[in-house]
Structure 1
Amino acid sequence: MPARGSTAYGDAMAFVLRNFDKTLQELDLDDLIYKHVGRRSESPTDVWLLSTLDAIEENMRHSRTFEKSKIFNPSLCAFAILEQLGTTYADASVIAGTKTNGIRAALHNFCGIPDQSPESHHLYRFRNAIMHDASMTNVWTERGAVKGYYFFRYSDDLPVVMRPSSREWNGTFADISDDTTSLINQTKLVDLVSDAISAVSAIFFDRRGDLKVLVDKDTILTKFLVWKPRQPKR
């Protein structure tokens, strides 16, 4: 059974191509999901409609090709996308995770990275490092007590998305070594996140009974879709 406040799609409901010959106000939940995760160009009759998910995915993939933007921007975009997906959708065919934040939920549901894994934990710590103060280190605290220190570097040669350090870092310069360094392959992270969007889209278009929509129609419309009036015809 779907969770309270969520919508599930049944196997028997064949997907029907969406008709956008209507106004923004007339769009239903299926229309909004179709536009949000479907990488589609359609817009209603009264406005031009943009999915912020489309826009940030393009930004993520584009920025990784430029020297001045590829250090932080692709990863920042990737984590914003994961947050968006993880707070909005879930895959009921995946055993439910225990973490409530959107990033770890998306990694668990759509990326094959369990939310209790060291990879999930370290990716979230890396996100906090780069987002909060553009740092490549992070101090994890709970109730004012330090729970751990993390030192990150990129590695394009890494065969996986990320590899946690083999031993804990103590937070000092003198303790930094290969053993205390957690590695991130940013190219693989970007590809993983694009694949996560595709995974959500596939569940929706295939009409599997596994897609759970965790928010209401207005949330998708007001948070993740942007519109501007069409110019009147002359």
Structure 2
Amino acid sequence: MADLDALRSRWQHTLLAARDDGPHGTRDGGPAAGPPPEPSRYADELLRRWSEPQRRYHTVAHLTAVLDHVDLLAEYAADPLAVRLAAWFHDAVYLPERSTNEERSARLAERALPEAGVGAARTAEVARLVRLTLTHDPADDDRDGQVLCDADLAILAAPPSAYAAYTAAVRQEYHFVPDDDFRTGRSAILRALLDLPRLFRTPHGAREWEATARYNLTTELEMLSTGGGTEA
């Protein structure tokens, strides 16, 4: 069970550190119109989104795991604060039947962060990172993208029981998709991931997670090809 109070505290710490101005500072190069709203307002709204009933895997537990992995990988990021903010927003909009979740999540960040006191440059970086989670294929020189994508994909390197729980939760999110269609779609996603030259781009991810993740993905793909792994 995710600790919501701990998450609220993490959000407040990150947002206050990421703001470009203090109580009497400037925002985006001009005078601040006034102090931005309290961080708790945004935490409550984000946590409400992450707690929506259609979610089975993309929940506050997933948010917590991604934040924990960002902390683990933070030394590799150019702007760890932007990556942490992107983790909060990357699945803030999540409707399993839609294909525009990443774009809508990025737009939510573009609306909320300036109001919360985050400058234009960092807001743009957060939105870019959120959109990157559509492909999980950051450039070789994209340090922030590598950290966020590795943190988001770390579940792929989970031990067998945790990986099985992850795949079961994903299937539950797509309970409305017939088994044959789910196998086809999920298999395509797994093949696309396996076709990437590297699943993990940070040194830690490449060293600690790559081999296990590829084993898990290959095993799941084999199960899907024999008609397994589709229980909703």
Q: TM-score range by the shorter chain?
A: under 0.3
Relative CO higher for 1 or 2, CA cutoff 8 Å, sep ≥ 6?
1
Give the strand-richer structure, 1 or 2: 1
TM-score (norm 1): 0.26
Give the helix-richer structure, 1 or 2: 2
TM-score (norm 2): 0.26
